[in-house]
Amino acid sequence: MSALLACFGLTRRFGGLTAVGDVDLTLEPGQLHAVIGTNGAGKSTLVNLLGGELAASGGRIELAGADITAWPQPRRARAGIGRSYQRTTIFPSFSVFENCRLAAQAAHPRPWAFWESAAGCRVSGPVARDALADAGLEAEAGRSAGTLSHGGQRQLEIAMCLATKPRVLLLDEPLAGMGAEETDRMLQLLERLKPAHAILLVEHDMDAVFRVADRVTVMVNGSIIASGTPAAIRTDPAVQFAYLGAEP
Amino acid sequence: MDLATFLIQCLNAVQYGLLLFLIASGLTLIFGIMGVINLAHGSFYMLGAYLAFSIAPWFGTNFIALLVVGTLLAAVFGALLEWAFFSFLYERDHLQQVLMTYALILVFEETRSLLVGNDVHGVQVPPWLAGTLPLGTLMTYPVYRLFASLACVVVGVALHWLVNRTRLGMMIRAGASNREMVRALGIDIRRLYRIVFAGGVALAALAGMIAAPMTSVYPGMGGQVLIVCFVVVVIGGIGSIGGALVASLLVGVVDTFGKVFFAEYSGVGVYLLMAIVLVWRPEGLMRRRF
Amino acid sequence: MFRWWPLPAVVLLAALPALLTPYTSDLVVQVFVLAVFALSLELLVGMTGLVSLGHAAFYGIGAYVAMLASPAAGAGNLLTLLGASVGAAALYALFVGAFSLRTRGVYFIMVTLAFSQMAYFVFHDTGLAGGSDGLFLGKAPTLGPLDTADRRQFYFLALAALAGTYALLTLLRRSRFGHALAGIRVNEQRMRAAGFATTLYKLAAFVIAGALAGLAGCLLALKDGAVNPELLSWHESGAVLLMIILGGVGHLRGAVIGALAFVLLKELYSTPAVVGEFLAGHWPLTLGLTIIAFVAMLPRGLIGLFERRPR
C-alpha cells in the first residue's frame, strides 16, 4: 500500500543543534506507526515538522505523493493532516461542543456571511457531534471545557483533531498523565480510528505502544536508530542499549 | 554634499545613535528580563534632563560630577519606583501594563509641570567642553558632541563588560533568555529585577543629562524619544543589547541623513526602516543574543 | 430579558435632546463618537486579542479625509465624505496591518504605535494638511433633507452611527468570523492546526476596526468643524485603550460604558467647582492616578463590578 504521508531526509536545525537529522518515515492508511525515544530525541520536533508548525531545514515531505514541504500549517490541516498536542490546547472557556464545532468550522469557514450565526451552522454542527461521539464525549457536550477532568480534556483534544476530518493523525503523547482506565479507553479509540486513518503516535508509555502499534520507530538525539515491527524492536540490541545503556 | 558636510553628518548620526543606544538598552533589558512593556521609559530621559537643569547650579563647571551624581540619584529613584510600582506589573497582561505605564507618564508630566513648570530651559555646556575642535584640515566639530559620543561609548563598554564578564551579567543574560528558569534556580529574582530596572532608569536619565546641553530641556522630549526607542527595540530585537546598538546606529543614520535630504518628510524615514526590517526579520535583527 | 436592553436604550437616547441643554447635548454626541471609536478598538482587543497602541491613526485619518474631501465652497455630500473617510482609514489599516501582523505580543504593540506616529508626522510636519494648525470645515455636508449643520439632526446621525456599529459588531460576534476571532484570541496555534488561515482573519479584523475608527473620526470632524494632528497622537490611542479598559474588555457594552465614563471623568477632573482650582488645571495628574488605581483594583472594568461569573 502506498504511503499517505512520507518524509525523506527530514532535518531541522536550531543554530548548532540538530533536533531532527535526516529522518525517513512513512505513514500508511490503516496503520498506526509509533515513534518512541528518550527525552530530547526530537519526537515532538518531528511532529511539528510534519504538521507544518516548524519549517524544515532540509528534506522533503509528501502527502499522497504531493510535495507539501513548503506548505504552511493551515494548508496542511485543510489537506487532511490533523494533530493533537502534548500540552492540552483546548479552549477552556468554550463548551465542549463549541470546541469541536469551531475546529470543524475550518473546513466550512464562510467568514463573509456575518449575518449567519456560527452556533447554528448546519455543516460544522453535525461534524462536531460525530467527532464527540467518536471520542466518547457526547454526554459532556454542554459542559465548559475547562471543567473536564484531565483525561476528558485529552479526549477532547483528539475530538477536536477528528472534527477537521483528517486522513492523517499526528498524535503527540495523547496518553500523558492518564490513569489505567483512561489509557484503556484511549487505546480502544485508537484501534477504532485505525482502519480509516494513517496514524503517527508519539508516546512514552511502552506497554500502550506495543499494544496498538503496527510499526515502531526509535529515535535518539534526532536520528532514527531502529524501525520495524514491535516484536523486532523489542529485541533490537541498539534499542536496548539506548534505553538501558548496557548490553543485554 | 561635500566631504566635510558628509563627515559632519556621519558624526552627528553616530552621536544621535549612541545616545539612543543608552536609552534603548535599558528599555530592551527591562522588557527582555522582566517582560514589562514600559511606556514611561521616555519620561526617565526627560526627568534626567530636567534633573541636570535643576542641579546644575550646584556643580558649576564640574560636569562629570554632575553626571555621576545625577545617575546615582536616578538609579535610587528607579529602585524605589520598581519597589513601589513596577513590581506589581510583572504578573499583569500587556494591556494593563500599557495602561498603567501610560498613566505613569501623565503623572510624571504633570508632577514635573508642578515642580519645574513647562518652560523650555537650557543647560550650559561646561567651558572645558565648549567650542569646536578641528578634525584634520577639512572641518571643525563641536567638542561637546564628541564628548557625548565618547561618554556613550564608555558607558556602552562598561555595560558590555558588566553583562558579559560578571556574575550579575550572567544572571541578566540568563534572565533575558529564560525568565522562569532563573526563578526556578532560586536566584533572588526580586533583587535582580530591581537592579536591572534601576540600571535602565539610570541609563535613560544619563542620556537625558548628556543630551540636555545639546537639545535643551523641554516638556515633549520624553514622548518623542520613547517612540524612536520602541522602533530601535523592534529592529534590534527584544532583550538584545547588541541588537539595540546596531539598530540605534541604523536609526541615527536614517534620521540624520533623512533630515538632510528629505527635510519635512524625514520623520517618516525611521518607520519605513522599521517596516523594511519587519518584512525581513519579524523578531528583530538579533533577538535574545548579547 | 436583559439581553435586549440596547433597544430601549436607543429609544431613550433618541428622546434625550428634548430634555438637554445644547452644551450637554454636545457632550452626549461626543460620547456617541467616542463610543464608536471605542467599539472599533474592542473588535481588535476584546474580540481578537490584538492590543494596538496606534488605533488613533485611523480615527485621525478619517477625520482629516472628511475635511479634505469636503468641497472648498458649498456643502459636500455626506455619503461621499463618509465613504472617503472610511475608505481611507481602511486603506491605511490594510497597510499597517500587513506589516504589523507579522509580529506578535509586545512587538505588535510597539509596531502599531510606530505606524501611527508615522501618520502623525505626515499630518503634523508636512504642509499636506495644514500642519500643526490643522484644518477647518467650510460648510457642513448634507444628504438630501439631512443637514449636518443642524445640531439636532447631527445628534440623530451620531446616534444612528453608534447603533449601527453596535448592531454590526453584535452580528459579527455571533457569526463564524467572530467565533474564529475568539478562537484566535484564546489559542491561535490551535486554530492554525485546525486549518484556519489566522493571519487573514486578523488582517480582516484590523481593517474593519480601522474602518470603524475612520467612521468615528469623520463624525468628529463634522461635529467640531475642525481637525488637528493631535487626533493621531499616541495620547489619543492611549485614551481609547483606557476607555475599553474602564468599561471592561470583552464586552461590547463595555466600550460604550467606558466612553461615557471617560468623558465624565475628564469633565469632572477639569471642572474647578468639583476638584478645586489647583487640580482642575492639572487634570492629567488626577486622571493618571485614577487609571493606576482603577487598573490595580478593577482589572475587569466597570462591567466587572456587576458580573459574578468569571470570564
Residues of chain C with C-beta less than 8 angstroms from the C-beta of A74: 192, 195-198
Contacts of A138 (CB under 8 A, 6+ apart): A129, A132
Q: Assess contact for A3 and A32: CB atoms under 8 A.
A: no
Predicted local confidence at residue B49, as pLDDT: 93
Residues of chain A with C-beta less than 8 angstroms from the C-beta of C189: 53, 89
In angstroms, rounded to a whole number, what is the distance separating the alpha carbons of residues A198 and B189? Answer: 48
Predicted local confidence at residue C130, as pLDDT: 79
Best of B105, B231, B233, B278 to substitute, by most chain C Cβ atoms within 10 angstroms, is B278
Continuous H helices in chain A = 43-51, 73-79, 96-105, 124-135, 150-163, 180-193, 206-212, 230-235, 237-244
Long-range contacts of residues C288-294, Cβ cutoff 8 Å, at least 24 apart: C288/B103, C288/B104, C288/B105, C288/B106, C288/B107, C288/B110, C289/B103, C289/B107, C290/B103, C290/C265, C291/B99, C291/B100, C291/B102, C291/B103, C291/B106, C291/C242, C292/B85, C292/B100, C292/B103, C292/B104, C292/B107, C294/C245, C294/C246
Higher per-residue confidence, A211 vs A2: A211
Q: What is the largest CA-CA distance in chain C?
A: 60
pLDDT of B85 strictly over 50: yes
Q: What average pLDDT does chain C have?
A: 89
Q: What is the largest CA-CA distance in chain B?
A: 60
Set out the domains of chain B in order of their start, with CATH numbers: 12-280 (1.10.3470)
- Mark whether A70 and A178 lie in a shared domain: yes
pLDDT of B21 strictly over 90: yes
Q: What is the ipTM of this complex?
A: 0.90
Interchain contact B86–C (C-beta under 8 A): no
Would you call B114 and C282 a contact, using CB atoms and an 8 Å cutoff?
yes
- Mark whether A12 and A59 lie in a shared domain: yes
pLDDT of B203 strictly over 90: yes
Q: What are phi and psi of A201, to 5 degrees?
A: -120, 115
Weakest mean pLDDT among B45-59, C137-151, C206-220: C137-151
Average pLDDT value for residue range C83-110 = 92
In angstroms, rounded to a whole number, what is the distance separating the alpha carbons of residues C270 and A209? Answer: 71
A53, A73, A114 ranked by CB distance to C175: nearest: A114
DSSP codes joined into one string, C122-146: HHHHSGGGTGGG-EE-SS--EETTE
pLDDT of C1 strictly over 50: no
Predicted local confidence at residue C308, as pLDDT: 54
In angstroms, rounded to a whole number, what is the distance separating the alpha carbons of residues B267 and C48? Answer: 31
Between the alpha carbon of residue A179 and those of residues A150, A154, A155, A183, A185, the distances in Å are 10, 12, 13, 6, 10
B230, B233, B268 ranked by CB distance to C118: nearest: B268
pLDDT digits (tens, 9 = 90+) for A158-208: 999 999 999 999 999 988 888 888 888 889 999 999 999 999 999 988 888
Average pLDDT value for residue range B116-126 = 85
Number of domains in chain C: 1
Predicted local confidence at residue C3, as pLDDT: 65
Would you call B103 and C115 a contact, using CB atoms and an 8 Å cutoff?
no
pLDDT digits (tens, 9 = 90+) for C161-189: 999 999 999 999 999 999 999 999 999 99
Higher per-residue confidence, B162 vs C149: B162
- Mark whether A2 and A14 lie in a shared domain: yes
CA distance B129 to chain C (A): 33
Best of C43, C47, C169, C175 to substitute, by most chain A Cβ atoms within 10 angstroms, is C175
Q: Which domain holds residue C70?
A: 2-232
| Percent residues over pLDDT 70 in chain B | 98
In angstroms, rounded to a whole number, what is the distance separating the alpha carbons of residues B169 and A52? Answer: 37
Could you tell me which of C265, C240, C236, C237 has the C-alpha nearest to residue C255? Answer: C240
Could you tell me which of B150, B144, B152, B151 has the C-alpha nearest to residue B22? Answer: B152
Predicted local confidence at residue B134, as pLDDT: 82
- Mark whether A192 and A243 lie in a shared domain: yes
**Strand-strand pairing, A81-84 and A32-37:** unpaired
Cell of C40: 472599533
Average pLDDT value for residue range B134-139 = 76
Predicted local confidence at residue A1, as pLDDT: 52
How far from the centroid of its chain's Cα atoms is residue A93's Cα?
23
pLDDT of C309 strictly over 70: no
Q: Is residue C270 in some structural domain?
A: no
Q: What average pLDDT does chain B have?
A: 87
CA angle C107, C111, C113 (to 5 degrees): 120
- Mark whether A74 and A133 lie in a shared domain: no
Angle between helix C176-194 and helix C151-174 axes, rounded to 10 deg? 40
Residues of chain C with C-beta less than 8 angstroms from the C-beta of A109: 176, 180, 196
pLDDT-based confidence at C20, cuts 50/70/90?
Answer: confident
Q: Is residue C251 in some structural domain?
A: no
- Mark whether A74 and A104 lie in a shared domain: no
pLDDT of C73 strictly over 80: no
Interchain contact C41–B (C-beta under 8 A): no
If you average pLDDT over each of A118-127, C46-55, C108-117, which comes out highest? C46-55
pLDDT digits (tens, 9 = 90+) for A22-81: 999 999 999 999 999 887 778 999 999 999 999 999 999 999 989 999 999 999 999 999
- For chain C, state the CA radius of gyration: 19
Predicted local confidence at residue B75, as pLDDT: 95
If you average pLDDT over each of B60-74, B161-175, C276-290, which comes out highest? B60-74
Is C103 strand, coil or helix? coil
- Mark whether A51 and A100 lie in a shared domain: no
Predicted local confidence at residue B290, as pLDDT: 34
Cell of A43: 519526537
Amino acid residing at B10: C
Task: Compute the count of residue pairs across chains B and C with CB atoms less than 8 Å apart.
Answer: 124
Interchain contact A192–C (C-beta under 8 A): no
Predicted local confidence at residue C77, as pLDDT: 86
Q: What is the largest CA-CA distance in chain A?
A: 68
Interchain contact C117–B (C-beta under 8 A): yes
Residue where a domain stops, chosen among A150, A165, A180:
A165
Predicted local confidence at residue A161, as pLDDT: 93
In angstroms, rounded to a whole number, what is the distance separating the alpha carbons of residues C281 and C268? Answer: 12
- Mark whether A6 and A118 lie in a shared domain: no
**Range A136-166 burial, b when 16+ CB lie within 10 A, else e:** bbeebbeeebeebeebbbbbbbbbbbbbbbb
Predicted local confidence at residue B211, as pLDDT: 93
Q: Is residue C65 in some structural domain?
A: yes
Is C199 strand, coil or helix? helix
pLDDT digits (tens, 9 = 90+) for B57-76: 888 778 888 899 999 999 99
DSSP H/E element including C193: helix C176-194
**Strand-strand pairing, C226-227 and A198-202:** unpaired
pLDDT of B219 strictly over 90: no
Cell of C187: 489559542
Predicted local confidence at residue B287, as pLDDT: 61
Continuous H helices in chain B = 3-29, 41-59, 63-84, 94-116, 143-165, 167-177, 179-184, 189-215, 221-236, 241-262, 266-280
Predicted local confidence at residue C2, as pLDDT: 55
Residue where a domain stops, chosen among A122, A142, A165:
A165
Q: Is residue C306 in some structural domain?
A: no
C113, C238, C296 ranked by CB distance to B227: nearest: C113
Residue A12's DSSP bridge partners are A20
pLDDT of C10 strictly over 90: no
- With an 8 Å Cβ cutoff, the interface of chain C facing chain A consists of 168, 171-172, 174-180, 182-183, 186-187, 189-198, 201, 204, 311
Number of domains in chain A: 2
Cell of C141: 455636508
- Mark whether A73 and A10 lie in a shared domain: yes
Q: Which chains touch C (3 or more CB pairs under 8 A)?
A: A, B
Residue A67's DSSP bridge partners are A62
In angstroms, rounded to a whole number, what is the distance separating the alpha carbons of residues B233 and B251? Answer: 11
Average pLDDT value for residue range B32-43 = 88
Q: What are phi and psi of C160, to 5 degrees?
A: -65, -40
In angstroms, rounded to a whole number, what is the distance separating the alpha carbons of residues C198 and C177? Answer: 11
Interchain contact C20–B (C-beta under 8 A): no
- Mark whether A205 and A237 lie in a shared domain: yes
Q: Is residue C281 in some structural domain?
A: no
- Mark whether A91 and A20 lie in a shared domain: no
Predicted local confidence at residue B152, as pLDDT: 93
Characterise A238 by phi-psi region: left (phi > 0), alpha (psi -120 to 50), beta (else). Answer: alpha
A77, A94, A117 ranked by CB distance to C175: nearest: A117
Predicted local confidence at residue C307, as pLDDT: 67
Interchain contact A123–C (C-beta under 8 A): no
Q: State the CB neighbour count (10 A cutoff) for residue B81.
A: 18
- Mark whether A118 and A55 lie in a shared domain: no
Output the domain CATH number for residue A241: 3.40.50.300
Average pLDDT value for residue range B258-286 = 81
> What's the burial of A111, exposed, middle or buried (CB within 10 Å: 0-12/13-18/19+)?
middle
Interchain contact C168–B (C-beta under 8 A): no
Would you call B271 and C292 a contact, using CB atoms and an 8 Å cutoff?
no
Would you call C191 and A106 a contact, using CB atoms and an 8 Å cutoff?
yes
Q: Which domain holds residue A36?
A: 1-80+167-248
